[in-house]
Amino acid sequence: MNLKATAASSTSDGTSDSSAPRRNSKKPKYSRFTQQELPACKPILTPGWVISTFAVVGIIFIPIGLASLFASQRVVEIVDRYDIDCIPETLRNDKLAFIQSRETNKTCTRSLTVPMDMKSPIYVYYELDNFYQNHRRYVKSRNDKQLQSKKNENETSSCDPEANASNGLPIVPCGLIAWSLFNDTYRFSLSSKVLEVNKKNIAWKSDQGHKFGDDVYPKNFQSGGLIGGAKLNASKPLSEQEDLIVWMRTAALPTFRKLWGKIEVDLEANEQITVVIQNNYNTYSFGGKKKLVLSTTSWIGGKNDFLGVAYLTVGGLCLFLAISFILLYFARPRPLGDPSFLSWNSDPAGHMN
Amino acid sequence: MSGWDRIRASGSRLGGGGRSRNSQTTVHLGRVQPQHPGHRTIHCNDREANLPVKFKGNSVSTTKYNLFTFLPKGLFEQFRRVANLYFLMISILSTTPISPVHPVTNVVPLSLVLFVSLVKEAFEDWKRLLNDRVINSTPVDVLQGQKWESIPWKKLQVGDLVRIKQDGFFPADILFLASSNPDGVCYIETANLDGETNLKIRKALERTWDYLHPDKAAEFEGEIQCEQPNNSLYTFTGNLITQKQTLPLSPNQILLRGCSLRNTEYIVGAVVFTGHETKVMMNSMNVPSKRSTLERKLDKLILTLFGVLFLMCFIGAIGSGIFINRKYYYLGLREGVEDQFNPSNRFVVAILTMFTLITLYSTIIPISLYVSIEMIKFIQSTQFINKDLHMYHIESNTPALARTSNLNEELGQVEYIFSDKTGTLTRNLMEFFKCSIGGEVYGTGITEIERGAAQRNGLNIDEVKKSAAAVHEKGFNFDDARLMRGGWRNESNAETCKEFFRCLAICHTVLPEGDESPEKITYQAASPDEAALVTAAKNFGFFFYRRTPTMIKVRESHVEKMGKVQDIQYEILNVLEFNSTRKRQSVICRYPNGRLVLYCKGADTVIYERLVDGDNNLKKVTRAHLEQFGSSGLRTLCLAYKDLSSEWYESWNEKFIQAKSSLRDREKKLDEVSELIEKDLILIGSTAIEDKLQEGVPSCIETLSRAGIKIWVLTGDKMETAINIAYACNLINNDMKQFTISSETDAIREVESRGDQVEIARVLRDWVKQELKKCMDDAQHYLHTVSRPKLALIIDGKCLMYALDPTLRVTLLNLSLNCTSVVCCRVSPLQKAQVTSLVKKGARKITLSIGDGANDVSMIQAAHVGVGISGLEGMQAVMASDFAIAQFRFLTDLLLVHGRWSYLRLCKVVTYFFYKNLTFTLTQFWFTFQTGFSGQRFYDDWFQSLYNVIFTALPVIILGLFDKDVSATLSKKYPQLYKEGIRNTFFKWRVVAVWAFFSVFQSLVLYHSTVAASRSSLNTSGKMIGLWDVSTMAFTCVVVTVNLRLLMACNLITRWHHISIGGSILAWFIFIFIYSGIMTPYDRQENIFFVIYVLMSSFYFYFTLLLIPIFALLGDFAYQGIQRWLFPYDYQIIQEIHKNDPEVSSRVELLEIGNDLTPDEQRSYALSQLPRETSKHTGFAFDSPGYESFFALQAGVLAPHKAWDVCRRASMRQQPAPPKN
């Protein structure tokens, strides 16, 4: 089509030149562009198109929805909220005092029942609520340069108010995010047999390898009067502090889960897992919940029905719309290109078409 | 550019002045005169003497900027736009800690936008510079020493003696000294100045005639004392002091820059004003730039967006004030925290968060909208309108020209067209077409109007075969063997024929020019009618070839055979001139044999009143012919003669001379004396001149009126002529109820003849008031009848003057808005503008004025859109216009095709811009609710900054360039489609609201779906994703959705759509692959590092990417489907009707584009209207040369006499008229 057009126009240019011998002809040159005649397809949204588009979308979406819903349903998930239960009943009227006190025993034992067989790896998550990791003041309170390399240790800009320790030395890692590192710990046992939790490889490789330097060691961390969260092992480089790395990939929403470790044994249905929780982290001051989550994964990841439901809804809606349009087609038929629908024809005083 | 000027100027000062700077104080001291502030003194032919007075150089610069002023001035211009200024402020705000975003977010788009705008400005200025350079380096001959030397224009200095050759342009304002013509005259064409093409005469002072040859001219010494440069084109005062004599100078000796020399071999002159001081340059004012209605509405939309922005920020600010609390200890809100997060002062927190959010949501204001629109319109006008082959006129070799690109879409909403008549509807080429001599009609041609009328009646008239005798030259298009080549000798009424031809050859005020042979002669006439009549006489064998003050020489060939040619001199005794009250013109001449005859030609009404009694049959027959001519759209004149006895004449002539020499009321007395002799005339016959309608005018008007456009004709012509043309153009027909408000009634004439101005005004006012009221009542009555006839209003200038009075204006407006067509005749240029703005301001409708002459300028500038007819007449109208087209009929293309498309496209572009920014910003807004109203940004800085300028920029421009609902042919076939534009169907608040609704829906889907889908781990590794992963996902979905939405808005999809939409999405992916794939040593947060690769390793990414855009667009799709199904737009029906039409390329047709009507036009022409009666009025042709100044004077505007008129009148008056015997 295009080839033909260019060939034709090139010959025609020749003829037009010869037919218009006028020397200073201001006649514009023909081109499909300037004459606005570019080859184009002109889709018309006929009812046929509308109905078939809806139908096709519906037909594609429903299987996808079913598949992902199925995958999501296969995931076994144990969720246990422990923030209240882990406070002795006597102290529950002042949870804040309990959590802030150094004397209280924060160890707490929970028992979980495995609802279904869980294939390894079983992922251990903690879930926090009402925790605004996406608050503007919080998100920016870190320094990627400092985390990356030892030579940038003194870079603490944007880390306020956790930039420098009381002695004026820079805190490594600085900033509110690191300072508020989650510090509850979990120990799992299955009928008094300890379930090992693998805490390796819980952070994204890209974070571990590039964002957190292997020559950067924690310094002056949590040395101030206010302790925000976990302390770090000063002898391990940041790149190996995977809990910190996970924590510092800030969550999008105030309710979030973070990976804590992996249990690499299969669990069977109705087995009782005993969890010993060190309930250190203060979510009580802002009324946030704490949950422990054990979950397997499938090919779509963890348990999340949203995609499946959304696909099914959209697919179903499309089918419904397709059917409605078919009904509409019969209820209010309009032949394509019926001139009587032209506004000037519906006007009684109108003229000829 | 002006910097360059300075260099040049200083250079010349140094070059020539090293010597003179010294000499200035010593030798030439006496000659240095302090310049009076009121004049300038120029020493001719003496550069040194002029040096102390630093006259400006002749170099002209029309550029806006130079190298140094470009940036500051250009930026200043840019920041006068509110959107740009807003973004500047946001950019400044975003450098403060209050901002959640890096300055880059706002600076990058702003600088890109500024960059594009500045490049455009620079490009335009560069073109101006090149143009200036060409003009400045045009060569001109200057006297240096004793010979002519060619130097560029820019080197010309005040006082130089220059020589300009035939057809050359004058490089500066020049004092005319000598001409190669013997009598010291030259002819100039002032088309560039005032648009008039007839030549004007300039005459040098007799004393300077000799300075023609270089050796003689070198001796010329003179001092010119004249006024300072000013912009009045028609005045000049000054003296030339030469040889100790002071000679007064008048405009008659001044040749203005911009004019060109004609019919004169060369002239010599002295430069008086140069460069920017020339009158034409001082006249070049900036045409006030117009803004389109759509853009003004756009401003309102932007304001609404500001309102929405404020509301969003306000909600966020309140939220932040409530949210902030020390309990969120992890936020580190201790004592001494900065004000923005200090929970102890929630009010301050809210206020500061307000500012934070303003910077965050700044994307809601589409920053690149204006620059995109500008770009689209620029290409539309330069590539589409200027290069449209449908609007190229082959005969005058003129393409259409969009002089401004601001108003393209305004062309799609025009409801009222105000058109000039002569030269716009008609060609202003008068051709002698038919005549009636002694009761016999001659001339077999059929006018376009007759043909049209016949076709309306179902007859199809074939082109009449022209006989061998047919002659067609300028001014003469006549075919009848009975008269041609001396054939009239064999007619029964040969004597009458002879009188007829002699009357044509003698009774006129035409000047012959050029070679005295029938082929080469050209006639200079005040009106083209006169020239046509003289040309006709020439073709009938009565060749008028020379005029002296007392004689008219006619070469008469009486027989067929060659050789029998007789040169006859007719002595012209008196000329009784034409004026608008007399409506006739008479010449008294004496034959060589002593016969004294008065020849008279004039309007039929006037002539018939003065005919001698008897031969009523001839009168009746001729009257019938006149009506016939009139209904054919021809302009008629009656010819009559009267033999005079010598005694009677002598006695009359005494009275005439007396009247002529009287000082008071001369005109009036002359009229009275003329009445004495112009009576008892003998009718010879009548002429019929075709003022040819421009091609395709009736069908064009018919198409436009079907498009819902109302056309008003505003003309300086007489009522009869105007009505005639209105009939011819289908504007008025006999089915219409016509309201005529005319001041030409006996009662008014009588009052006027009494001459009491106050009385006249009072009577006229009452008359107009009464008439208007009557018409209004009638109109109301008709509108309530069942048949609802169409109404037409015809009003003349004098009545209009009173009708435009504030008290009557509303009635006039109401009446005229109810009329389908309105004809205003005898209106002054000022009134044309008044009528235009009456409708523009009073009715708030979009108006378009079209005209070709200087008298249309005010109207062109007053209307929303001004269109000039280019090609034939001068440039004045074109220079004032926004669009210039060669033919009236091109309005169809300009409005129905280009205008409609531009409107459609611009509406889509604007609403789409609105939508895409709102959608994007709203996702950000929803996020704010989940961040404790802290104003945390959802997207990375670069995402946000490139969103508008890269990822969504190009497709919308492509849409703005290429989208079209139906093809050009169909646009013209269904002119009613245009009504969608008049009703502003596509940019109503309702349309905007629909877009806004779906925008909210989409943003909710986009934000909440991406977020909800990310709550669990995404793949089998169990790892969780964070904020930046989600936001990248969301952004990907936004880019895809928004680009796909554009595709849904398109009526057609070209390769460019694929490239731009695919390219935009691809650009995003390429960007994110690179951006997230690298770590930089620069100071940036590495939030985005590897994000896209993490995402793409999961099914979540693909599933979401498939689901969300479809989910988001579901609503739009269903809406479009239902809208099209149940409430289709007209264009959609047309699309469906012609769904299966093959794609017709107009290429072949365009390459052979001629002046034939296209088959479509012919069809619509044939179908145009119901058959109608033949009208009963006669056309009447006689342009009055002075009517414009006459009316202008009445309106209080001083329009000086044209030099040509002055000159001609003077030569007439000088005629000594004593009898010879």
* CB within 8 Å of B195: residues ≥ 6 apart: B852, B853, B854, B873, B874, B875, B876, B877
Distances, alpha carbon B945 to alpha carbons A24, B106, B1032, in Å: 48, 6, 14
Q: What is the DSSP secondary structure assignment for residue B560, as one 8-state letter?
A: S
Phi, psi for residue B908 in degrees, rounded to 5? -65, -45
* Nearest alpha carbon to residue B613 among B537, B536, B681: B681
> Computed from CA positions of residues B1136, B1138, B1140, B1143, in that sequence, does the dihedral angle turn out positive or negative?
negative
Is the pLDDT assigned to residue A75 strictly greater than 80?
A: yes
Cα separations in angstroms, A75 against A113, A204, A295? 16, 22, 7
Inter-chain CB proximity B1135 and A44 less than 8 Å: yes
Chain segment A196-254, per-residue pLDDT in tens:
999 988 999 888 888 888 888 898 888 877 788 888 888 899 888 999 999 999 999 99
Q: What pairing do the DSSP bridges indicate for beta strands B260-262 and B254-255? A: unpaired
Higher pLDDT, A39 or B1213: A39
Instruction: Work out the widest C-alpha separation in chain A, in whole angstroms.
Output: 107
The structure tokens 């010449």 sit at B587
SS (H, E, C) B14-35: HHHHHHHHHHHHCCHHHHCCCC
CB contact under 8 A, B1126 and A332: yes
Q: Residue A78: which pLDDT band, with cuts at 50, 70 and 90? A: very high
Closest partner residue to A306 (CB to CB) among B325, B1012, B1031 is B1012
**Sign of the dihedral defined by the CA atoms of residues B1080, B1083, B1084, B1089, in that order:** positive
pLDDT at position A80 is: 93
C-alpha distances (whole Å) from A276 to each of A86, A96, A100, A188, A283 are: 10, 21, 20, 6, 18
Helix orientation angle between B1027-1049 and B954-962, rounded to the nearest 10 degrees: 10
pLDDT on residue B453: 65
Write out pLDDT tens, residues A140-167.
888 888 888 888 888 888 887 888 887 8
Residues 6+ apart with CB under 8 A from B876: B193, B194, B195, B853, B854, B857
> For an interface test with B, which of A44, A181, A306 has the most B Cβ atoms less than 10 Å from its Cβ?
A306
With an 8 Å Cβ cutoff, are B389 and A131 in contact? no
Q: What does residue A327 show for φ and ψ, rounded to 5 degrees?
A: -60, -45
Helix axes B1159-1166, B448-456, angle to 10 degrees: 60
Residues 6+ apart with CB under 8 A from A227: none
Catalytic residue, chosen from B141, B160, B420, B604, is B420
CB contact under 8 A, B1023 and A47: no
Closest by CA position to B1179, among listed B778, B696, B453, B690: B690
Cα angle: A206, vertex A210, A212; to 5 degrees: 105
What is the b/e burial string over A239-268, where b = at least 16 CB atoms within 10 angstroms of the residue's CB?
Answer: bebbbbbbbbbbbbbbbbbbbbbbbeeebe
B608/A272 Cα distance (integer angstroms): 125
Taking CA atoms, what residue in B is nearest to A67? B1103
> Which segments in chain B show pLDDT lower than 70?
1-38, 191-199, 283-289, 449, 452-469, 526, 558-563, 580-581, 663, 718, 854, 871-876, 1083-1084, 1143-1221
CB B954 within 8 A of CB B1063: yes
**Chain A residues near residue B1147 by CB distance under 8 angstroms:** 8-9, 12, 30, 35, 37
Q: In angstroms, what CA-CA distances link B334 with A104, B329, B330?
A: 25, 8, 10
Cα of first residue to Cα of last residue in chain A, in angstroms, is 34
Give the pLDDT of residue B201. Answer: 76
Q: Which residues pair with B42 in a beta bridge?
A: B224
Among residues B399, B395, B405, the alpha carbon closest in space to that of B386 is found at B399
Are residues B1026 and A252 in contact, defined by beta-carbon separation less than 8 angstroms?
yes
Rg, chain A, Cα only: 33
| pLDDT for position B1003 | 95
CA nearest neighbour of B584 among B491, B498, B675, B500: B675
C-alpha to C-alpha distance for B1212 and B1203, rounded to whole angstroms: 14
Cβ contacts of A344 on chain B, cutoff 8 Å: 976, 979, 1130
The CB-based long-range contact list for B658-664 (8 Å cut-off, 24+ gap) reads B660/B1213
Nearest Cα neighbor of B1006 from A319, A106, A73, A310 is A310
The answer to whether B420 is a known catalytic residue is yes
Residue B884 burial (CB count, 10 A): 25
- Chain B contact set for A148 (CB, 8 A): 1079, 1086
pTM (global) more than 0.90: no
Q: Dihedrals φ, ψ of B294, to 5°?
A: -60, -40
Contacts of B1136 in chain A (CB under 8 A): 44, 46, 336-337
Question: What pLDDT does A225 receive?
Answer: 72
Measure the CA–CA gap between A267 and A121, rounded to whole angstroms. Answer: 10
* CA quadruple B19, B20, B21, B27: dihedral sign: positive
Interface size A-B, in CB pairs within 8 Å, comes to: 317
Q: Which of A193, A79, A242 is nearest to B1024 (CA)?
A: A242
Beta-bridged to residue A242, according to DSSP, are none
> Looking at the complex, does the CB of residue A151 fall below 8 Å from at least one CB of chain B?
no
Distance CA B935, CA B1207 (A): 80
Angle, in degrees to the nearest 10, between helices B666-677 and B646-661: 170
Q: H or E stretch including A190?
A: strand A185-190
Sequence-ordered strand ranges (E) for B75-184 = 139-144, 147-152, 161-165, 173-179
Residue B904's pLDDT is 93
What ipTM goes with this model? 0.91
What are the distances in angstroms from CA B230 to CA B172, B223, B233, B258, B263?
Answer: 14, 20, 8, 15, 29
| Burial A64-101, CB ≥16 within 10 A → b, else e | bbebbbebbeebbbbebebbeebbeeeeeeebeebbee
Q: Say whether pLDDT at A175 is over 50.
A: yes
Angstrom distances, CA of residue B309 to CA of B92, B315, B354, B431, B475:
18, 10, 10, 66, 67
Residues 6+ apart with CB under 8 A from B994: B1119
pLDDT at A36: 86
CA distance B780 to B776: 6
Task: Pull the structure tokens for residue B647.
Answer: 């005694």
Q: Is A333 on the interface with B (CB under 8 A)?
A: no
**What's the full length of chain B, in residues?**
1221
Which residue, chain included where needed, has tokens 């006989």? B467
